Homo-oligomer: A and B are copies of this chain.
Amino acid sequence: MGQLLRVQNFTVSRDGFGAGENQSLERPFGHADPGELMAWALATASFPNRADPGGSRGLDDYFTRDFAHGIGAEIMGRNKFSAQRGSWPDHEWQGWWGDEPPFHTPVFVMTHHPRPSFALSDTTFHFVDGDPATVLEQARQAADGRDVRLGGGATVIREFLDADLVDTLHVAVSPVELGAGSRLWESPDELLDRFHADVVPSSSGVTHHLFWRK
């Protein structure tokens, strides 16, 4: 089967936005409330870096439980790594995730402004400037036979979809309305020419959209 490129647990608003407008270091999701957008995942037992015991083990938990399963590397956009834009003011910013990032693999951050790689616990961040196919090839080599997760944001997922490099997508559509921001799609139907789809409503209020290549 080879190594898949998988989008896992990417959450968008009902109107198709993965994050809101005016993203900043204080508000990484802009005017969107990540606690509201991601409520379905935060409630599950398997949410990465979950602080307290407990949590649900129903349908939603199958998705959070699968986040790292079989994954050997992640690709993310610059905007997922930092709200800073342009050249790096310094190298002190090491992402939003503290000393124990939830990735536990090499992570490839796509940026036109390279900086040295660094490691936090068992996650190593690399900064790469290249087209999607080139970055995917780097990530595949680092993944050592396992799959590669495409971590978002919406702009980066669109780029990889446009280059026809994505094998599976799991997108959770939240009942929240955002009105503006970083858009994944106008409608999930846009992908039906190239992908099979399952549409699965959850008792938590989100609807899981699962796509895999035809």
Contacts and interface: CB of A to CB of B under 8 A. Distances in A.
Interface residues of A, number: 25
Contact of A1 (B1, B53, B202, B208): B53
Nearest to A50: B1
A211 to B, nearest CB: 8
A104 interface: no
Contacts of A80: none
A204 B1 CA distance: 23
Contact of A59 (B56, B57, B198): B198
A9 B24 CA distance: 44
B196 A56 contact: yes
Nearest to A201: B200
A60 to B, nearest CB: 8
Contacts of A45: 1, 212
Interface of A: 1, 45, 53, 56-59, 61-63, 65-66, 69-70, 167-168, 196-198, 200, 202-203, 208, 210, 212
25 contacts: A1-B45, A45-B212, A56-B196, A56-B212, A57-B167, A57-B168, A57-B210, A57-B212, A58-B196, A58-B197, A58-B198, A58-B210, A59-B200, A59-B208, A59-B210, A62-B62, A62-B63, A62-B210, A65-B66, A65-B69, A65-B70, A66-B66, A66-B69, A198-B203, A200-B202
